[in-house]
């Protein structure tokens, strides 16, 4: 806490300090156990997604009609679905889709939102007005409805899902990056760079962007669970990822008709979504406290 | 102050028009003639052509848009392709359930959110504090449909206390309201807790205590009054969110409301219905934001003066 205050008070020294990354991260490691545990859980999830074929003896679509809807057992840890497929196996493969759907669009919207936000904040005037009004329009849609309409227009394959979630999320990023840029623009070192004739592009990339990074990292960590939630909602409504892929949301959508006879079909992937979302959430929270005291909870 | 409001209202109308145009174009860039969708594959080409002309679909897209706007101002949002009824009529019939659901969900969110937030702040770091904050986190991290299905399974199926679906009596709204409102309750509780903790450190709280007010008096008369400001704004925004965002809850609990109508419109490729329902939701969100902004300046004298 003390460290942050001195940093914020002296302004420049904090933002040019080399220990800007190492010190807060060490802080995080020592004081925020939940964030560390979350990071470990995320790593394990990613590992499990990569190693899915090694971890399970069953195939993703391997049917076993003698064992339909069987409850959790030693053979099938989380039971089987309506086609006798192993739920745990489907969840492991599903984690690939769900993680990808969380990470790829969040990265894309981060790039798009940062570029537009920096441009708006740095150029001001008409550029600013146009970009920010576009962001306003996007933010006026309830995100699930916007996603539904875009999915309707684009169809249901994986790139369409990526594009949809990118379009849903960029506006928030742009807004925050713009505010950061406006704040950073006033610093003496930007002024100095401008005076000695450094080009705008270079100022943005070398002086503004690096100082936005902590905020952006936090934003990314918090956007991943939001994207996973939105995709699972879309899939639940039958609009997200289409077969043969199975995201967690899709599994719940299919399992819903067996809610009362075989509840594990819904609750196992539901729990997976929850754990994953919580892990990213806590990690984002911890990173925010450590890296970026300015960014308040959205 | 009135000036600010008028300016904000103007901006809101512009955003709404832009959203309407964007939506209009987005729903029309998909290949395929809606008339064919409506009439089925085997309609003869003369009929299709006649229908296309009658529905104004042969006009340029901007002309169509202005015709739509002119109609919308008079309360005519076109006719649903799939249900063959005026969109305004369909939405009017569904609106009641959506409003009921949003009101019940908001009540749940406000009461539990504020109570839990206050208790958590007063007993900071106690077991109830941790418990409440844990519950609120659960609300934020569970997708609505998972919460909804857990509630259905436990209270509707295992315990058989409450109806699982439908909108026949007010008891049918209890589970949907909890599922829908949990998330808001969580964020309200967290906000109440953090603002109240901030306020409790202010000097005037010490003054009030020194004057001999009871702890409850200090809490309600001095602390809560000041801590509620951001909370009220958040509640305004969330109410509009609940009103517009019940798509999933209404689907899970088979409540015939605007959200379910939206899902039906999308699965039926029903452009007028989609347009109507989505525009309704966007209007509500924009109005909610406007209300929140205005509320803030009405309630906070510092902003009121600054304009």
Q: How many Å apart are CA A166 and CA A147, to the nearest integer?
A: 10
Asked if A266 and B245 come within 8 Å (Cβ–Cβ), the reply is no
* Cα separation values, A275 from A44, B181, B236, Å: 12, 21, 30
Asked if B282 and A142 come within 8 Å (Cβ–Cβ), the reply is yes
Instruction: Determine which of A65-74, B164-173, B242-251 has the lowest per-residue pLDDT on average.
Output: A65-74
Q: Does B13 touch chain A (CB under 8 A)?
A: no
With cut-offs at 50, 70 and 90, classify the pLDDT of residue B33. low
Name every residue whose Cβ is closer than 8 Å to that of residue B299 and which is 6 or more positions away in sequence: B229, B232
Q: pLDDT (tens digit, 9 = 90+) per residue, B99-128?
A: 999 999 999 999 999 999 998 888 888 888
Q: Does B161 touch chain A (CB under 8 A)?
A: no
Q: How many Å apart are CA B189 and CA B208, to the nearest integer?
A: 25
Q: Does B143 touch chain A (CB under 8 A)?
A: yes
CATH topology (fold) of A41-58+77-297: MetI-like fold (1.10.3720)
B145 vs A contacts (CB less than 8 Å): 232-233, 236, 252
Residue of B137, B141, B153 with shortest CB distance to A259: B153
Is ipTM > 0.85 here?
no
Please spell the DSSP secondary structure of A123-179, one letter per residue: H-HHHHHHHHHHHHHHHHS-HHHHHHHHHHHH-SSHHHHHHHHHHHHHHHHHHHHHH
Q: Does A236 touch chain B (CB under 8 A)?
A: yes
Q: Are A256 and A238 in contact (CB under 8 A)?
A: no
How close is the nearest chain A Cα to the Cα of B39, in Å?
A: 20
Residue to mutate among A152, A222, A229, A249, with most B CBs inside 10 A, is A152
What pLDDT does residue B40 have? Answer: 66
Mean pLDDT score, B2-23: 87
SS (HEC) of B138-189: HHHHCCHHHHHHHHHHHHHHHCCCCCCCCCCCHHHHHHHHHHHHHHHHHHHH
Choose among B169, B168, B160, B234: nearest CA to B195: B234
Percentage of chain B lying above the pLDDT 70 cut: 93
A150 vs B contacts (CB less than 8 Å): 26
Looking at chain A, which residue has its C-alpha nearest residue B275?
A149
What pLDDT does residue A2 have? Answer: 39
Q: Are A64 and A89 in contact (CB under 8 A)?
A: no
Domain B95-304 has CATH 3.40.50.970: no
A11 Rama sector, left if φ>0, alpha if ψ -120 to 50, beta otherwise? left
Looking at chain A, which residue has its C-alpha nearest residue B134?
A278
Question: pLDDT 10s per residue in chain A (298 long)?
Answer: 334 444 444 444 444 455 667 777 777 777 778 888 999 999 999 999 888 888 877 777 777 777 777 788 777 778 887 777 888 888 888 888 889 989 999 999 999 999 999 999 988 889 999 999 899 888 888 888 888 888 888 877 888 889 989 988 999 999 999 998 988 888 888 888 888 988 888 888 888 888 888 888 888 988 898 899 888 888 888 887 777 677 888 888 888 888 888 888 888 999 999 999 999 988 888 888 787 655 544 3
Instruction: Check residue B82 and report its DSSP letter.
Output: T
Q: How many Å apart are CA A107 and CA A112, to the nearest integer?
A: 9
What pLDDT does residue B1 have? Answer: 64
B237 vs A contacts (CB less than 8 Å): none
Name every residue whose Cβ is closer than 8 Å to that of residue B29 and which is 6 or more positions away in sequence: A153
Query: What rounded mean pLDDT belongs to chain B?
Result: 84
Helices (H), A51-142: 52-55, 87-123, 125-140
Q: Does A153 touch chain B (CB under 8 A)?
A: yes
**Angle, to 10 degrees, between the axis of helix A158-185 and the axis of helix A143-154?**
130
Asked if A225 and B274 come within 8 Å (Cβ–Cβ), the reply is no
How close is the nearest chain A Cα to the Cα of B236, in Å?
A: 15
What pLDDT does residue A295 have? Answer: 53
Bridge partners of A86, per DSSP, are A80
């Amino acid at each position: 806490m003390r460290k942050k205050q001195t940093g914020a008070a002296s302004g420049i020294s904090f933002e040019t300090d080399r220990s800007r990354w190492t010190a807060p991260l060490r802080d995080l490691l020592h004081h925020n156990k939940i964030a560390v545990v979350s990071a470990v859980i995320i790593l394990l999830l990613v590992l499990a997604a990569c190693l899915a074929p090694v971890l399970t003896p069953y195939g993703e679509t391997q049917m076993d009609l003698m064992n339909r809807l069987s409850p959790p057992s030693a053979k099938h840890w989380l039971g089987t679905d309506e086609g006798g497929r192993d739920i745990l196996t489907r969840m492991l493969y599903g984690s690939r889709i769900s993680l990808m759907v969380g990470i790829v669009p969040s990265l894309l919207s981060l790039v798009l939102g940062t570029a537009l936000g920096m441009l708006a904040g740095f150029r001001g005037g008409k550029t600013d007005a146009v970009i920010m009004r576009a962001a306003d329009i996007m933010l006026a849609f309830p995100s699930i409805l916007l996603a539904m309409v875009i999915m309707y227009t684009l169809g249901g394959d994986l790139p369409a899902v990526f594009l949809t979630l990118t379009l849903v999320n960029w506006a928030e990023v742009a807004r925050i990056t713009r505010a950061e840029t406006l704040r950073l623009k006033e610093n003496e070192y930007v002024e100095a760079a401008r005076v000695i004739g450094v080009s705008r592009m270079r100022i943005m990339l070398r002086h503004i962007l690096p100082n936005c990074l902590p905020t952006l990292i936090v934003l990314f960590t918090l956007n991943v669970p939001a994207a996973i939630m939105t995709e699972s909602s879309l899939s639940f409504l039958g609009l997200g990822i289409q077969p043969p892929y199975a995201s967690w949301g899709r599994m719940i959508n299919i399992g819903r008709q067996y809610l009362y006879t075989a509840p594990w079909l819904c609750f196992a992937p539901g729990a997976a979504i929850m754990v994953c979302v919580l892990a990213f959430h806590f990690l984002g929270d911890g990173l925010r406290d450590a890296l970026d005291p300015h960014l308040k909870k959205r | 102050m009135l000036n600010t409001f008028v300016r904000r209202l103007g901006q809101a109308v512009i955003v709404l028009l832009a959203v309407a145009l964007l939506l209009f174009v987005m729903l029309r860039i998909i290949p395929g003639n809606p008339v064919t969708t409506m009439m089925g594959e085997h309609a003869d080409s003369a009929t299709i052509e006649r229908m296309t002309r009658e529905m104004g679909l042969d006009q340029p897209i901007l002309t169509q848009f202005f015709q739509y706007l002119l109609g919308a101002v008079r309360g005519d949002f076109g006719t649903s392709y799939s249900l063959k009824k005026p969109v305004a009529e369909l939405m009017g019939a569904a609106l009641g359930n959506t409003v009921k659901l949003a009101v019940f969900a908001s009540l749940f969110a406000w009461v539990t959110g504020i109570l839990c937030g206050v208790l958590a702040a007063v007993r900071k770091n106690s077991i109830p504090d941790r418990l409440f904050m844990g519950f609120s986190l659960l609300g934020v991290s569970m997708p609505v449909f998972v919460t909804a299905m857990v509630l259905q399974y436990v209270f509707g199926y295992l315990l058989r206390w409450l109806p699982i679906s439908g909108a026949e009596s007010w008891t049918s709204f209890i589970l949907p309201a909890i599922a829908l409102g949990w998330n808001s309750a969580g964020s309200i509780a967290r906000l109440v807790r953090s603002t109240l903790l901030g306020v409790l450190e202010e000097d005037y709280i010490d003054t009030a205590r020194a004057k001999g007010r009871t702890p409850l008096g200090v809490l309600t008369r001095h602390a809560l009054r000041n801590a509620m400001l951001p909370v009220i704004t958040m509640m305004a925004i969330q109410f509009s969110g609940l009103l517009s965002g019940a798509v999933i809850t209404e689907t899970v609990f088979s409540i015939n409301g605007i959200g379910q109508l939206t899902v039906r419109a999308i699965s039926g490729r029903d452009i007028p219905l989609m347009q109507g329902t989505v525009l309704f939701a966007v209007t509500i969100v924009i109005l909610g934001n406007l209300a929140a902004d205005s509320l803030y300046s009405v309630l906070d004298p510092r902003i009121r003066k600054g304009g």
